[in-house]
Amino acid sequence: MLAAKIVPGSSKTALAGTLDHMVKIKVAAPPEKGKANECLVAFLARQLGVRKNAIAIVAGQTSPVKHVRIEGISAQMCLEKLGFSAQGSR
Protein backbone atom coordinates (compact mmCIF):
# COMPACT_ATOMS: atom_id res chain seq x y z
CA MET A 1 0.00 0.00 0.00
CA LEU A 2 1.36 3.39 -1.00
CA ALA A 3 0.18 6.58 0.68
CA ALA A 4 0.38 9.53 -1.67
CA LYS A 5 -0.40 13.25 -1.59
CA ILE A 6 -1.53 14.31 -5.06
CA VAL A 7 -1.26 17.85 -6.40
CA PRO A 8 -3.45 18.07 -9.53
CA GLY A 9 -3.23 20.73 -12.21
CA SER A 10 0.57 20.98 -12.14
CA SER A 11 2.63 21.94 -15.16
CA LYS A 12 3.93 18.37 -15.50
CA THR A 13 3.47 14.99 -13.85
CA ALA A 14 6.40 14.18 -11.58
CA LEU A 15 7.50 13.08 -8.13
CA ALA A 16 7.78 15.99 -5.71
CA GLY A 17 9.40 14.37 -2.68
CA THR A 18 7.64 13.37 0.52
CA LEU A 19 5.17 14.99 2.87
CA ASP A 20 4.20 13.58 6.28
CA HIS A 21 5.45 10.05 5.42
CA MET A 22 3.64 10.10 2.06
CA VAL A 23 5.00 10.25 -1.46
CA LYS A 24 4.08 13.60 -3.02
CA ILE A 25 3.21 13.47 -6.71
CA LYS A 26 2.29 16.36 -8.97
CA VAL A 27 -0.06 15.44 -11.82
CA ALA A 28 -0.72 17.53 -14.92
CA ALA A 29 -4.39 16.54 -15.15
CA PRO A 30 -7.13 18.62 -13.51
CA PRO A 31 -9.04 17.26 -10.50
CA GLU A 32 -12.27 16.66 -12.38
CA LYS A 33 -14.13 13.55 -13.54
CA GLY A 34 -11.31 11.26 -12.34
CA LYS A 35 -8.72 12.70 -14.73
CA ALA A 36 -6.12 13.26 -11.99
CA ASN A 37 -6.63 9.70 -10.73
CA GLU A 38 -6.16 8.30 -14.26
CA CYS A 39 -3.01 10.38 -14.68
CA LEU A 40 -1.68 9.12 -11.33
CA VAL A 41 -2.29 5.47 -12.25
CA ALA A 42 -0.62 5.88 -15.66
CA PHE A 43 2.37 7.66 -14.09
CA LEU A 44 2.84 5.00 -11.40
CA ALA A 45 2.52 2.21 -13.96
CA ARG A 46 5.29 3.76 -16.08
CA GLN A 47 7.56 4.45 -13.11
CA LEU A 48 7.12 1.01 -11.54
CA GLY A 49 7.02 -1.08 -14.69
CA VAL A 50 3.61 -2.62 -13.97
CA ARG A 51 0.34 -2.68 -15.91
CA LYS A 52 -2.23 0.01 -15.12
CA ASN A 53 -4.74 -2.63 -14.03
CA ALA A 54 -2.26 -3.73 -11.30
CA ILE A 55 -2.78 -0.35 -9.62
CA ALA A 56 -5.92 0.52 -7.66
CA ILE A 57 -6.80 3.59 -5.63
CA VAL A 58 -8.40 1.97 -2.58
CA ALA A 59 -9.04 5.14 -0.56
CA GLY A 60 -9.21 8.82 -1.41
CA GLN A 61 -10.91 8.78 -4.82
CA THR A 62 -11.97 12.42 -4.36
CA SER A 63 -9.29 13.47 -1.86
CA PRO A 64 -5.74 14.69 -2.47
CA VAL A 65 -4.52 12.01 -0.03
CA LYS A 66 -4.77 8.60 -1.65
CA HIS A 67 -3.99 5.04 -0.66
CA VAL A 68 -2.85 3.05 -3.65
CA ARG A 69 -2.53 -0.74 -3.89
CA ILE A 70 0.04 -2.00 -6.37
CA GLU A 71 0.02 -5.70 -7.20
CA GLY A 72 3.08 -7.64 -8.27
CA ILE A 73 5.66 -5.46 -6.53
CA SER A 74 6.79 -5.24 -2.91
CA ALA A 75 6.55 -1.99 -0.95
CA GLN A 76 10.36 -1.92 -0.72
CA MET A 77 10.76 -2.33 -4.49
CA CYS A 78 8.08 0.30 -5.10
CA LEU A 79 9.97 2.88 -3.03
CA GLU A 80 13.27 1.97 -4.67
CA LYS A 81 11.83 2.35 -8.19
CA LEU A 82 10.40 5.73 -7.22
CA GLY A 83 13.86 6.77 -6.02
CA PHE A 84 13.31 6.67 -2.27
CA SER A 85 15.46 4.90 0.29
CA ALA A 86 13.98 2.64 2.97
CA GLN A 87 13.98 5.64 5.33
CA GLY A 88 11.79 7.65 2.96
CA SER A 89 14.39 10.16 1.84
CA ARG A 90 15.08 10.85 -1.79
Per-residue pLDDT tens digits for 46-76 = 999 999 999 999 999 999 999 999 999 988 8
The pLDDT, as a whole number, for residue 21 is 86
CB 56 within 8 A of CB 68: yes
> pTM higher than 0.75, yes or no?
yes
Amino acid, res. 72: G
The pLDDT, as a whole number, for residue 75 is 85
According to CATH, the topology of domain 2-81 is: Conserved Hypothetical Protein Mth637; Chain: A; (3.30.1200)
DSSP string, 52-70: GGGEEEEE-TTSSEEEEEE
The pLDDT, as a whole number, for residue 89 is 52
pLDDT tens across 68-89, in order?
A: 999 999 888 998 899 886 554 5
Listed by start position, the domains of the chain span 2-81
Q: How far apart are CA 37 and CA 35, in angstroms?
A: 5
How many helices (H) and strands (E) are present in the chain, helices listed first? 2, 5
Of 36 and 20, which is predicted with more confidence? Answer: 36
